[in-house]
Structure 1
Amino acid sequence: MQFNSSRAPFSLSLICSALLLSACGSSDNNSAPTLSGELNPSVLENTTLVANYTANDPDGDAITLTISGDDSDLFTITQQGELSFKNAQDFETAGKTTFSVTLTATENEADKLSTSLNITVSLGDVKDTPDFAAVQTIAPDYTSSEVVFVDALNQQVETGYYVKAKSDYTVASYNSDLFHIGRFFIDTIDKYNVAEKDAAVWSYSTQDDQDSTSRNPYTLVSLSDTKAYLIRYGSGKVWIVNPQATLQEDFKIGELDISAYSNDNKNGTPSPSAAVILDDKLYIAMQRQNDNFSAGTAYVAVFDTATDEEIETNANSEDSFKGIPLAGVNPLENSIIAANDKIYVTTRSGYSAPSLELSRIEEISPADYSVKSVLTAKDIANNTSGYISGTAIVSAEKGYFYSSEAFFTPSYHVKSTLHEFNPTSGEIIASGIANTGETAISNIKLDSANFLWMSIGDPTAPGVDILNTNTNEKYKDRLTTELNPSSIAFLAEQ
């Protein structure tokens, strides 16, 4: 029998306890078995394996393992020492969170000498309800906006926060902090905390003193409480900021220069649209729009967050850039995510010369920065003009993306469809999940419990749909909003 090396090794006191519990009556020619393993193992709900135990007999006699005690009916023990629940326990319905069982090792000789361990198993809770979130909402005519707070567990939507007479706003978060970002020709960022949602901690400009045009802040990507990266779509400089700063002059603490990636753009911007951090590296997706708003070859720049120096990826030995070129074109906001220890980038394709083959999901390996095409919009069955707009990854075998198609009669409107796919093989498993296909989806995002949130722009009932990714069914009814939902930011409740 093998001891489970992932568990903490037993101590000398545990061995002594086992010996003290040994049956009496051993002779000079026979010794009781030894038994070792965890006395107080912890097990997460919805799993069965508890721990592995090791039994040995000094005399080489065969041993039988048995269990007894108050909760023994709930457990099984194999003769290899694997203790398990017969059925996985649910934290909310089990009725208790600790279970007692006695494990006994008995020799098969005439003396029947034995040793026992009294084991207390603790059941741990796994989060299996949706997160709490802030959702930016926007008027259909783009004349106003507000943020709403969504409590999915209790099916509640709190309205009326950060009401503005402009619509180009988005939200980002870190732990319990919320950042409300004003974009094109607004150029502000406000910090709030979930404990006092209606009181700004601070409000800062996102413009440098020498800026003569809007730098259009797109998102804030946090490394820690005191360091984050402000992606500015209209600038070749990414700000390094301290979200704990109490004064504007202390907010910006550095910058990253990505202007070399600009593509015939008079503002010197490579149009950075999204970013993500994985293993202390910052990945920045860039559209590289020129002055005619035509997207060039998309790139992902990689920076070391410890030194804030750009990393030479050697992804393409024939270009002059350190970053990673993509096959797809035009990565939009929320286009880059980290999952399965990999980076995934979604590209929509350009607007002036759209191509289904240039609308892709691509995978970047952080080990060598190699790029693999997972799938393209052309792989969607019977698709002629639907382009991939966003992706969420649950596991190596399960992910989601949505495609959107524009229609112009009787008036302009968008229809979006949610698809399930296998991120490893690229196979599209199902389409039209959760009755999608008739209304617009503006964003999808996976929360910490693997619920998929979808911002639905329904003309008659806008709101947030939440999908249980285990079943592909909606968690509950739509959480309706007055305005169309867009960006989603999850918050840790205090």
Structure 2
Amino acid sequence: MTMKTLRTCLLLLPALLLAACDGGKNADDAPLFTDSAVIATRAPLFTSGAVSLVAATAPFAARNNVVASATSDLFVRSGGDHYFVIKRFDTNQIQRYAASNPAAPVYTYSTQDATDGTAQSNPSDLLIVSDTKAYLLRYGSGKLWIVNPSATTEAAFKIGEIDLSAYDTFDGVPEMTAGIVRNGRLYVAMQRLESFASVKTSYIAVIDIATNTEIDTAPTIDGLKGIELPVRDPVSLVGIPGSNNILVLADGGYGGFDDGYAQLYEGGIVRIDTAANSATLVFDDGDATTHPFDFFADIATVTSDRGYFIGSTGFGATQTLYRFNPNTTAAPIAVPGFQAVAMGSLAVDPNGKLWVTRTSDTQPGVSILGFTSGAETVDASLIDTVLTPINIDFITVPVL
């Protein structure tokens, strides 16, 4: 290693753009790349937000407050060698960042349409199909956007829309909350709330991504085309590795004003057979009297026979991490050391490690778990993110 190469490595290390000082080229003189976690974070009192970057390999060096935000309602989504920051309620924007310059936005576009009026689009997620096509879920609207994530002007960003308002006759807003692209289809989970209350079963709309049209999965008495779920208030969708099937996690939602907005035990984990367009309840969250896992908070799958979910009794140190087999109804196993602690969301990195957000106001951060000999191993007990982590995705950054 030359002195010039060493000096360059030392300069770039704090920016997390470098994992190893080897000259930055492989045998074919092509750029080398490494993986990094991009993490949306918020202040404990929800007064502001930020983005952290953490190297996806030991010693998991962190760079915090890479992007500062005046809003705490953030969500990050990877685009490969770039990432997006989705600014939700009261901001209604999406920003794109390049991994090679992660603190400077490539663009900031509005998620509001001229026809939205005073209603907030409240974007919830971005599901990417290609460099030039993605689906933007808008929680506050009945219309899902088809967008070009590489658009160089705001006018060129929106390239189409899909109307899902038929799923909610109350106000035309079905609360599209989460989605996943699988085997040529987009699956969109809709909560179908009425004045914030979970009074109806939820649905999954299925979109053919080649034609951008909704697939009629099984005509029902109410005429809706999607897959009816045996749960309410879905919050997360994940794929089952090794198959085209998906899992839906629902927290059950809350009752209305007359019920004091109490937690409803109408949630659980549902397996969607994408060939049969059928929904099977895998785990039920019980009822107000008996609820062994409390309510379900988030989910991740690592392999075809190993997934994880968080059971929660509410805010604070009241969460437990469970391991389960996505293809069976065998009893979930509580992970030692991750019981009755403050946790929020889960993510799986490209190395098959489970990242767990730790949401304590005094010790926020991320834990990283491996798996060997039938049990979890702790690769990192707590990576400090300064602010409370919200969600995690993974980007590929260049090794210079």
Category of TM-score, reference length = shorter chain: 0.7 to 0.9
Match of 1:282 in 2: 186
Match of 1:16 in 2: none
**How far has the Cα of 1:233 moved from its partner?**
0.2
Match of 1:422 in 2: 325
**How far has the Cα of 1:414 moved from its partner?**
4.8
Structure 1 contact 298–326 (Cα < 8 Å) conserved: yes
TM-score of the pair, normalised by structure 1: 0.68
Structure 1 contact 263–288 (Cα < 8 Å) conserved: no
Name the structure with the higher strand share: 2
**How far has the Cα of 1:157 moved from its partner?**
0.8
Deviations 1:102-156 (A, max 9, x none): xxxxxxxxxxxxxxxxxxxxxxxxxxxx941110111110001110001142321
1:364 to 249, 272, 290: 272
Unaligned runs of 5+ in 2: 1-33, 256-261
Match of 1:187 in 2: 92
**How far has the Cα of 1:422 moved from its partner?**
1.5
Structure 2 contact 41–49 (Cα < 8 Å) conserved: yes
Q: Does 1:306 align with 2:210?
A: yes
Match of 1:390 in 2: 298
Q: Does 1:323 align with 2:226?
A: yes
Match of 2:376 in 1: 472
In structure 2, how many angstroms separate the alpha carbons of the residues matched to 1:166 and 1:429?
A: 36
**How far has the Cα of 1:391 moved from its partner?**
1.4
In structure 2, how many angstroms separate the alpha carbons of the residues matched to 1:490 and 1:455?
A: 14
Match of 1:337 in 2: 238
**How far has the Cα of 1:393 moved from its partner?**
1.7
Structure 1 contact 313–323 (Cα < 8 Å) conserved: yes
In structure 2, how many angstroms separate the alpha carbons of the residues matched to 1:155 and 1:449?
A: 13
Correspondences of 1:71-470 after superposition (within 5 Å): 131-153=35-57, 154-211=59-116, 212-265=118-171, 268-314=172-218, 317-332=220-235, 335-339=236-240, 340-352=243-255, 354-356=263-265, 358-378=266-286, 383=291, 386-406=294-314, 413-431=316-334, 433-470=335-372
In structure 2, how many angstroms separate the alpha carbons of the residues matched to 1:476 and 1:385?
A: 26
* Aligned residue identity for 2:311: S
Structure 1 contact 419–428 (Cα < 8 Å) conserved: no
Runs of 4+ in 1 over 6 A off after TM superposition: none
Change in 2 beyond 3 A, CA 1:425/1:294: closer
**How far has the Cα of 1:355 moved from its partner?**
4.2
* Aligned residue identity for 2:102: K
- Quote the RMSD (CA, aligned, Å): 1.8
Q: Secondary structure at the match of 1:469?
A: strand
How many residue pairs match? The answer is 351
Q: Secondary structure at the match of 1:260?
A: helix
Q: Secondary structure at the match of 1:449?
A: coil
* Aligned residue identity for 2:186: L
Higher relative contact order (CA 8 A, sep 6+): 2
Structure 2 contact 74–390 (Cα < 8 Å) conserved: no
Q: Secondary structure at the match of 1:249?
A: helix
Structure 2 contact 196–254 (Cα < 8 Å) conserved: no
* Aligned residue identity for 2:97: Y
TM-score of the pair, normalised by structure 2: 0.84
**How far has the Cα of 1:209 moved from its partner?**
1.6
Larger radius of gyration: 1
Unaligned runs of 5+ in 1: 1-129, 407-411
